[in-house]
Structure 1
Amino acid sequence: MSTEQPQPGPGGEPERNRPPDAEPGRHRPVDPANSRDPGLPPAPPPPAAGDTTGVAGVGGADRYGSNPYGGPQGAADPLAGMPPLAPLGRRLLARIIDMLVVGIPMTLLLWPIIGAYDFDDGGGGEGYLRQAVIILVYFVYEGLMLSARGQTLGKMAMRIRVAMLADGSVPQGRPGWLRAAVYSLPQLVSCVGFVFWLVNVLFCTWDQPYRQCLHDKAARTVVVTAR
């Protein structure tokens, strides 16, 4: 019979009495990266540096909702970070209000000087002079208002505004005056001016994706809803 005693292990207790999980190499720290349930699909890798896919405001979505203007392949929204485009009905009502704001006072002021509108005049002589004065006053009115805040009184009432297409800023200076000039001044030319004005104001009904009139394209502006 052997009288040899079991040798103590590294921890001071006999090797044969050490529990299985206490054997060297059997007990390892848990790796958090491998702690998922093996029945679940692997976790997606973290996004690479500079990858903005799926980030709000980038790749076709912004704080105003989904991408209504981007291309079919998910192109970035050209108006990302800007309010939605203004409805055409509100734009029309804003123009009507502005015409009344300018037209009524100017007609009353010109009445003692030029006289009442004479339908038998056929638009010549005094009728053309009255129309030219009103058009010029409307041009100055719109140019000043757009350069100052991107809104006329009509646009303020309809809660819409004119914004630069590039960054949504107020069309201060040249863009505001250019937009007002392309809308108003061609009407000073008899017949041809009216045709241009008609095409201009209707252009936004078929223009995509910005719904611009010709005066918007000239000034590189869009009409959006105001907050």
Structure 2
Amino acid sequence: MPQQQSPAGRPGGPEQVVPWRPPVDDPFLRAAQRQARPAGLGRRLGARAVDGVLTAAVAAAVAFPFAGPSADHFREQVEAAEQAGETRQIWLVDGTTGVYLAIVLGALLVFGLLYEVLPTARWGRTLGKKLFGVRVLDIEEQDTPSFGAALRRWLVYGLLAPLGVGVVNVLWCLFDRPWRQCWHDKAARTFVARGTEESGPLG
């Protein structure tokens, strides 16, 4: 009588079970590996310090030619009041110095658009963020933010920075979860990530 074989092909042997192995190309695994992680406070402060120094340098360079004329104008106002023997209120910002201030603010606005907004919308980073290996990403798309989001992010930061709450805004990412957002990130629905893929001149 012929000997009965098991389905595995071995006579009388137990049926072998092939262990499950994950597919070589797992899309869910690749998506998890690409998931961006929020950057730490040290990297973010370092990047912001570089950007802040560059912005301050541009502001100083633009304002320097107006420093002397502004001082002379203020001195003339004081001397005119003394000669007239009047007690009058002299404003630091008037029709003359206001023009100088408007020129400086306009230059900073143009610089911010060229240095902060456009590179953030195009590559997700400025020079400071490039040096410290961080990148601004949209929360939902996990990609560079739109121009409108980048503009909104920069404007909110710029408005809060001169105020006392600007410090709270920067430190807010220490307590925020899970994306460690500052207030300007929440306004733009972005977060600052580390270890992301690089592309472009600032990538």
TM-score, length of structure 2 as denominator length: 0.65
Could you tell me which residue of structure 1 aligns to residue 82 of structure 2?
none
Is residue 195 of structure 1 aligned with residue 164 of structure 2? yes
For the pair shown, the structure with the greater C-alpha radius of gyration is: 1
Alpha-carbon offset, residue 195 of structure 1: 2.7
Q: Which has the higher contact order (CA 8 A, sep 6+)?
A: 2
- Aligned partner of 1:196: which letter? V
Structure 2 residue corresponding to 1:212, chosen from 174, 177, 181: 181
Structure 2, unmatched stretches of 5+, are 75-91, 198-203
Q: State the AA in 2 paired with 1:129.
A: L
- Identify the match of residue 36 of structure 2 among 43, 59, 83: 83
TM-score (norm 1): 0.59
Give the CA RMSD over aligned residues.
3.5
Q: Give the % identical residues.
A: 31
Counterpart in 1 of 2:101?
129
1:169 aligned onto 2:116: no
1:102-141 Cα distance to aligned partner (Å, 9 max, x none) = 21132022211234999xx9xx636993885576356423
Residue 56 of structure 2 is matched in structure 1 by 103
More helix by share: 2
1:35 aligned partner, one-letter code: E
Cα–Cα, structure 1 residues 137 and 103, in superposed 2: closer, same or farther, change >3 Å?
farther
Aligned residue number for residue 35 of structure 1: 15
List structure 1 runs of 4+ shifted beyond 6 angstroms: 42-47
Letter in 1 for 2:154: A
Displacement after TM superposition at 1:87 (Å): 1.6
In structure 2, what is the equivalent of residue 145 of structure 1?
119
Q: Distance in 1 between matches of 2:45 and 2:147?
A: 24
Structure 1 stretches lacking a partner, 5+ long: 1-21, 37-41, 64-80, 188-192
